[in-house]
Amino acid sequence: MTLPPLLLALDYGGTKHTAALLIRGEQVWLAQARAYSPPGADATYDQATMLRLARGLLAQNPGRLAAIGVSFGGPVDAARGIVRLSHHVPGWEETPLRDRLQAEFGVPTAVDNDANIAAFGEWRFGAGQGCASLLYVTVSTGIGGGWVLGGRVYSGADGMAGEIGHIVVRPGGAPCVCGKRGCLEAEACGPAIARAAQERLALEPEAGAGLRDRVGGNADAVTAQHVAEAAAAGDALAAEVLAAAAQALGAGLGGAINLMNPERVVLGGGVTKSGDRWWQIVRETARDHVLPQTRVQIAPAALGDDAPLWGAIGLAEAHA
Amino acid sequence: MTLPPLLLALDYGGTKHTAALLIRGEQVWLAQARAYSPPGADATYDQATMLRLARGLLAQNPGRLAAIGVSFGGPVDAARGIVRLSHHVPGWEETPLRDRLQAEFGVPTAVDNDANIAAFGEWRFGAGQGCASLLYVTVSTGIGGGWVLGGRVYSGADGMAGEIGHIVVRPGGAPCVCGKRGCLEAEACGPAIARAAQERLALEPEAGAGLRDRVGGNADAVTAQHVAEAAAAGDALAAEVLAAAAQALGAGLGGAINLMNPERVVLGGGVTKSGDRWWQIVRETARDHVLPQTRVQIAPAALGDDAPLWGAIGLAEAHA
């Protein structure tokens, strides 16, 4: 009996690490293993954890490992397979992750950052299949993006392409973690929606009853999900806050579409679960910002939280 | 004696048409011919004019024509070599310009729009040589741009990539020809600078003496060049108007750099002759808008008005 060719996907999140095995050419996972880092974990700990997960999977599933694809939650020099740093975990500075894994497992390995990998996953297996040019944007606790152009991840001169979250859409607007004001991320990500709602509730004690009810009157507990739910249930304050965030996102996407005219834009992340009205405003605002000859095709992501794992499989496949 | 291999560049401007011949591999023109359209000229007239220029050049210069590259001042379907329309000249709708020229001259021909071609020219022969990713932006009576990625023009799904002039940099700002407000073009192109200065002169009768002197007191005659000259000579009103335009451009470029992380941005067009202070503000504002890990390299164009002709030669070369 010939052993099946296996592809291994590794997803180094901030504190959540996942390894997954696929038989090459199949569309369903053969096995997955996941582990969480304790507080205070460093790069050495996380690498040991992932090695244990990967070895365990390979020991339990007969096959011939063909290649490894790796998604890393932080800046990566993809051409050299080097992790530049992690914004969350100490000790990752300039780690030659690709070469370490190649030495460990003896197969071709490719590494890229999570936004690029998720974009590639949606292009290869999800909502961007067949697109000659794809912008993937995740709208979550932050806003990031990745490009797939001509069937390959496009990561720019410094691996920094896709930072759509830090385009200024409202000069002088909300302060952003990057130090600027009015960045798309500061106007449209989940925490931005929650903060905007909290500020309005504090200023308008008579408004937002539907939203207040959802948090037992404790405005500090409001999340973007509460805002979306209250807006869907008819709360006017929540609807206005959500609409402003959707408009900011539409404006940012419109700018990106004017600049690059991608065949499709795919949106993922928790905030994209904010309901039909949110989607409608995002699409209409983007359309209003774009020259008439330019297509505006904005679609929901298909792979959810698994996009980085599928993207890692796509990378592994391309290198096997 | 072997006849030298010739490349023919054709540049269809709005009213100015240029044909130019180069011996393949040389860096100086063999010959150029130019003609201007009279008022009321249409696509048929302009095509006949260009054919006459091209045939004349080829008759006067011995050689073996190897390929033709064409720059067209309007939207082009480059993949099929079809001019979609001209915004200035009637009758160009859906003209199969590539096939007509191939039939006429019997050599490979490639067509693209002037912004893409100029970008390609700067990449191949000018200020963008050797760059893996290049954004070219022309700041003139309008603001347009083009991308060269991986050594090829990137024109997007509908040939509309590079429309940086219609990214909104100041929501609610100056009205734009596209119907929106606060587009980069409406805030930073030459006519926008002139208009902003005229408005300030009307509102502030005591200010802008240096600028008024340049136009004999007739504020309606102020151009962007007057503003740049008066600013350089110390006129405070002119300096403020020019600085605001430079800041708008820097913000737009910063957004583009965040999104695509190009190795270099090259700026051409008349407004880039506005002096050192203009350049300094453009660069500093772009830098302030970009994440720290991302390079900001903004260089003046090297080919001037010849960029489309050189780009057409680059295209011809690639298809010869």
The model's pLDDT over A162-206, given as tens digits with 9 standing for 90+, comes to 999 999 999 999 999 999 999 999 999 999 999 999 999 999 999
* Contact assignment for B163 to A259 by CB distance below 8 Å: yes
Check residue B30 and give its pLDDT.
Answer: 96
Test B147 with A260 for CB contact under 8 angstroms.
Answer: yes
**Cβ-nearest to B261 among A156, A251, A295:** A156
Domain A5-126+304-319 adopts which CATH fold?
Nucleotidyltransferase; domain 5 (3.30.420)
Yes or no, beta carbons of B259 and A258 under 8 Å apart: no
Residue-averaged pLDDT of chain A = 95
Among chain A, residues having any CB pair with chain B shorter than 8 Å are 75, 84, 132-133, 145, 147, 149-150, 154-164, 166-171, 178, 180, 251, 254-256, 258-263, 288-291, 293-295
Round to whole Å and give the CA distance between A99 and A105: 10
Residue B295 is nearest to which of A157, A169, A263, comparing CB atoms?
A: A157
Is the pLDDT reported for residue A13 higher than 90? Answer: no
8 A C-beta contact, residue B202 and residue B219: yes
Percent of chain A with pLDDT over 90: 90
Q: pLDDT tens-digit profile of A275-293?
A: 999 999 999 999 999 999 8
CATH 3.30.420.40 in chain A, residues?
A: 5-126+304-319, 164-300
Chain A CB contacts of B293 below 8 Å: 75, 84, 158, 160
What's the CA gap between A229 and A227, in Å, rounded? 5
Q: How far apart are CA B140 and CA B285, in angstroms?
A: 20
Query: For the CA atoms of chain B, what is the radius of gyration?
Result: 21
Nearest CA in chain B to A144: B259
Instruction: Spell out which residues of chain A touch residue B291, defining contact as CB-CB under 8 Å.
Output: 160, 163, 166, 178
The ipTM is 0.92
**Cβ contacts of B85 on chain A, cutoff 8 Å:** none
DSSP A232-269: HTT-HHHHHHHHHHHHHHHHHHHHHHHHH--SEEEEES
pLDDT by residue, tens only, chain B of 320 residues: 688 999 999 999 878 899 999 999 998 999 999 999 898 899 999 999 999 999 999 999 999 999 999 999 888 999 899 999 888 899 999 999 999 999 999 999 999 999 999 999 999 999 999 999 999 999 998 999 999 999 999 999 988 999 999 999 999 999 999 999 999 999 999 999 999 999 999 999 999 999 999 999 999 999 999 999 999 999 999 999 999 999 999 999 999 999 999 999 999 999 999 999 999 999 999 999 999 989 999 999 999 989 999 999 999 999 88
pLDDT above 70: percentage of residues in chain A: 100
Distance between A263 CA and the closest CA of chain B, angstroms: 5
Please enumerate in sequence order all residues whose Cβ is within 8 A of that of B116, keeping only pairs 6 or more positions apart, or say none. B76, B78, B146, B147, B153, B155, B162, B311
Which of B178, B254, B290 is the closest to A291 by Cβ?
A: B178
pLDDT of residue A310: 97
A155 chain-B contacts, CB cut-off 8 A: 261
Superfamily of domain A164-300: ATPase, nucleotide binding domain (3.30.420.40)
Of the CA atoms within 13 Å of residue B228, those in its CB half-sphere come to 21
**A251/B160 Cβ within 8 A:** no
Alpha-carbon span A192 to B257, nearest angstrom: 24
Cross-chain CB nearest to A166 (options B150, B154, B291)? B291
Q: Sorting pLDDT into bands at 50, 70 and 90, what band is A1?
A: low
Return d(Cα B105, Cα B110) in angstroms, integer. 13
Which of these, A318, A298, A3, A317, lies nearest to A128 by C-alpha position? A298
Question: With an 8 Å Cβ cutoff, are A167 and B132 in contact?
Answer: no
Interface test with B, best of A183, A259, A265, A297 (most B CBs within 10 A): A259
Question: Do A154 and B155 count as a contact with CB atoms less than 8 A apart?
Answer: no
Q: Count of residues for chain A?
A: 320
Tokens representing residue A162 in the block: 């896709």
What's the confidence (pLDDT) of residue A281?
A: 98
**Gap from B176 CA to chain A (nearest CA, Å):** 12
Q: What is the pLDDT of residue B1?
A: 64
Sign (positive/negative) of CA torsion B260, B266, B270, B273? positive
Min Cα–Cα distance to chain A from B189, Å: 17
- Which of B319, B316, B312 has its CA nearest to residue B116? B312
Sheet with A152-154: strands ordered across: A152-154, A143-149, A133-139, A264-268, A298-300
Q: What separation in angstroms does the CA of A202 have from each of A172, A197, A220, B26?
A: 21, 9, 10, 71
CA A166 to chain B, closest CA, distance in angstroms equals 7
Burial letters A100-129, b for 16+ CB under 10 A, else e:
ebbeebebbbbbbbbbbbbbbbbbbbbbbe
Cβ distance of A161 and B263 shorter than 8 Å: no
Contact by Cβ (8 Å): B84, B75: yes
